[in-house]
Amino acid sequence: MADRRRSSAETAAAPRALPSRFLTPDDLVEMFELPSVETVYQWRRKRTGPRGFRVGRHLRFDPADVQAWVDAQREGVAA
């Protein structure tokens, strides 16, 4: 049973696959451990976060756009 348990460092290091559905601002808060949903809306106003779109009055994010944004952020970090 101990073999099945993974340490928190191993769990944090293993990337999880993005869901196949459109993501909500709350999903981004959970995924990136943001302080609040207001951070997502600030990113949108400043045009610094992943590209989003409106469905009626609801904000949604395509998982492919979120992944592209993450990849772009990682490229900007010096290795």
pLDDT, residue 78, reads 61
Residue found under tokens 């992943």: 50
The string of pLDDT tens digits covering residues 30-60 is: 999 999 999 999 999 999 999 999 999 999 9
Q: In whole angstroms, give the CA distance from residue 26 to residue 12.
A: 20
* Whole-number average pLDDT of the chain: 84
**CA of 8: how far to CAs of 14, 66, 75, in Å?**
10, 24, 25
Residue 10 has pLDDT above 50, yes or no: no
- Give the pLDDT score at 9: 45
Cα distance between residue 37 and residue 58, in whole Å: 13
Q: Specify the higher pLDDT residue, 61 or 10.
A: 61
Which residues are within 8 A (CB) of 25 and not within 5 positions of it... i.e. 6 or more apart? 37, 40, 41, 59, 61
pTM over the 0.85 mark? no
For each of the domains in the chain, give its residue range(s) and CATH number, in order of start: 18-75 (1.10.10)
